[in-house]
Structure 1
Amino acid sequence: MVTDRRILVVAHTGRPESLSAAVDVVRLLRSAGVLPVVDAESRDDLVEATGEGELLVLGQTAEVGELELVIVLGGDGTILRAAELARGGSAPLLGINLGHVGFLAESERDDLASAVGRALERDYLVEERMTLAVRVKLGAEVIYETWALNEATVEKASRERMLEVVIEVDGRPLSSFGCDGVVMSTPTGSTAYAFSAGGPIVWPSLDALLLVPLSAHALFARPLVVGPNSSLAVEVLDRTQGVGVLWCDGRRAVDLPRGARVVARRSPTPVRLARLHPGPFTDRLVNKFALPVHGWRGPIDEEGRGA
C-alpha cells in the first residue's frame, strides 16, 4: 500500500558504494509504501540503477515542505549538500556514514537496513543545530546573503598574496592583521575547518559563535568564542593587495572586493538532525578521532556520576 509519506534520498551517485546504498534505500522505502524523492542531479543515475520506473524529483514533482525525512548517504560533505537541498523545510536529516570521519552522520553502512527501518517507524529523536546567517556588505549596500551550518570563511583567493582584515565583535573593532583568512564557525563546525585551524572543540549543545584566524601575522590573533546573540564580522581592508573570497560550508562562494564586510550572526533557522543513538558528544569525539582512552576507570554509579 502506497502512502503519501515522502522521504528524500541524497547520495553521491558518482561513487559506486554510494549509488548501491541509495538503490537499497529506494527499494526499502518502496517496499514499505513510502514515496522516495531524489534531487535532480541524482535522478538519472538512480532511475537507471533501480530499473523500477520514475522517481519523484525535488523541486519538480515534490517540494521541500512535503518531506518527512531526508536520508543522507555519504560523509559530512554530502550531509552539507543535503542540508542545502532541504533548507526551507522542517524535515530532519538522517546521515548514514559512507565517508571517513563523518561527524554529522548517525549510522554506518553496515546498519543501513536497521536505520531505514527505524526511520520508517519514526523511531528517532530530533536534534537542532544552530546555523549562521551570513551577509556581505559594501558600504551600506548588502551585496550577498547566504547561510552556513559549519562555517563562513573569508579567505585569500591567490596563494602569493596575504589578506589584510579587521575583525569585529558586536559592532566594535577588535584587531587588524594580515592572514590567509578567518573562519567564523558554529559549534557544529568546530570539528571541521575551525578545528584544522587550531580552534577549540565546542560541544554542539552549547549555543556560541567561534572566530578562528588562519595563519595570522599578529600578536593577538587567538581563537574567540562569543555568545549566540553576538555578531562577528571580517572586513577586507582597502590596503589588501590580493583578492578575497567568502566560502560557506565549502559549497557556496562569492568574491569579496576591497572594503567588503562579512557579517555572521545566529540564524533563526536551524538544521534538524535525526538521532538514532543519542549519547554523550564525548563518545562521538573518541570514536571519530580514535582518541586513546585506555586505562580509564570511571564512571561509577548508575546515574553516571563520578565518585
Structure 2
Amino acid sequence: MSREVLLVVHSDRKQTLDAAREVGERFTAAGFAVRLLGTAPDDAIAVAGATFPCTVVRADENPADGVELVFVLGGDGTLLRAAEVARPARVPVLGVNLGRMGFLTEADSDALGETVWRAVEGSYRVEERMTLDVTVRHGDTVLASTWALNEASVEKGSRERVLDVLITIDGHPVSAFGCDGVLVATPTGSTAYAFSAGGPIIWPDVQAMCVVPSNAHAMFSRPMVVSPSSEIAIELDPNGTNGVLNCDGQRYVEVPVGARVQVGSGAIPVKLARLW
C-alpha cells in the first residue's frame, strides 16, 4: 500500500503555488500518493498540481482519511483550515509558514526541502493540542454544535449596540456586563485573538481554558483561567441584542437573544507534527 499525504495550500499567492509544486514533486519522488485540498477540479490548487500526479479532494469528502500526514503551506489561517479536516481523521498536521502569522506552523519557507525530507522519514514527534467543544442552546433546544482549536468567541451582531452577557462557570454566576464579546481560548489560542484582547499566555501543554472579555463595560471583567473539566456558559440577555459565535475564524453560528453558548474541553484533540 502506498503512503499518502494531503497538501493544504493558501492558493491566493504565487509563492505558495510554486511551493506546492515543489512539495508535490518531492513527495511523489519519495513514493507518496498526493492529495490536494481544493474546492473544484479547475481551481488554483489543481493548477499547482499539474506538474505531478495528484488527486484534488474537497473538504466534504473526508480528504484526510487514510493519509499519514496533512502538510500545510500558508499561515495560521491555512493551518486552521487544515485542522478542520485532519481532526476527525486523527491525522497530524505539519505546517510551513508562507503567510504573515505562523504561530502554529513548524517551519519557514527556507527550510521547505528539509521539512519534506523529515516528513518522508517520519522524523517528527506529535503533540496533541486541546480543543473546545461548543454548543449553542435556546432553552432545551440545541441550535448548533461545533468546535475550536484556538478560540470560540461570542461577538455582538450589531456595531451600534453592546452585547449584554452573563458568564457562568460550572453553573455559578461569575459576572454580567455589556461588551463587544467574550472569548474562550485554549492554551494554543492564548497567543492569538485572546492575547490581543488582554488575555494571558498559557503554555501549550497546560490543560486549561481562558475566558477573556472584549471591551467590557464593567468594574470586574478580568480574564479568568479555569479548569479543563469546567463548563463555561455565556448567556445572552433576553432583552439585549443578537450575537455571533465565531470559532477559529472558520465556523460561524448566529446566536439569538436569550440563547446560551456552552464551552468545554473538546473530546478530540488536534495533532500537530513537531520537528524541533
TM-score normalised according to structure 2 size:
0.95
Which portions of structure 1, spanning 4 or more consecutive aligned residues, are displaced by more than 3 angstroms?
Answer: 57-63
RMSD in angstroms over aligned alpha carbons?
Answer: 1.6
Cα distance in 2, alignment partners of residues 175 and 47 from structure 1:
51
Cα distance in 1, alignment partners of residues 86 and 213 from structure 2:
30
Unaligned stretches of 5+ in structure 1?
278-307
Cα distance in 1, alignment partners of residues 34 and 232 from structure 2:
40
Cα distance in 2, alignment partners of residues 216 and 51 from structure 1:
51
For 1:256, the equivalent position in structure 2 comes to 255
| Number of residue-to-residue matches in the alignment | 274
The offset of 1:43, in angstroms, is 4.9
| Structure-to-structure mapping, 1:1-307, within 5 angstroms | 4-41=2-39, 43-44=41-42, 45-52=44-51, 55-58=54-57, 63-240=63-240, 242-277=241-276
Distance change >3 Å, CA 53–CA 22, structure 1 → 2: closer
Deviates more, 1:54-63 or 1:7-16: 54-63
Q: Percent identity?
A: 50
User: Per-residue displacement from partner, 1:156-188 (whole Å, max 9, x unpaired)?
Assistant: 011111000000101211111100000011000
The offset of 1:251, in angstroms, is 1.1
The offset of 1:53, in angstroms, is 6.3
Which structure's residues are more often strand, by fraction? 2
Matching residue's letter, 1:41: T
Cα distance in 2, alignment partners of residues 55 and 61 from structure 1:
15
The offset of 1:41, in angstroms, is 2.1
Matching residue's letter, 2:263: A
TM-score normalised according to structure 1 size:
0.86
Cα distance in 2, alignment partners of residues 239 and 252 from structure 1:
26
Matching residue's letter, 1:140: D
CA contact (8 A) 1:13 1:42 kept: no
CA contact (8 A) 1:11 1:42 kept: no
Matching residue's letter, 2:173: P
For 1:300, the equivalent position in structure 2 comes to none
Cα distance in 2, alignment partners of residues 269 and 261 from structure 1:
22
CA contact (8 A) 1:136 1:144 kept: yes
The offset of 1:239, in angstroms, is 2.0
Larger Rg: 1
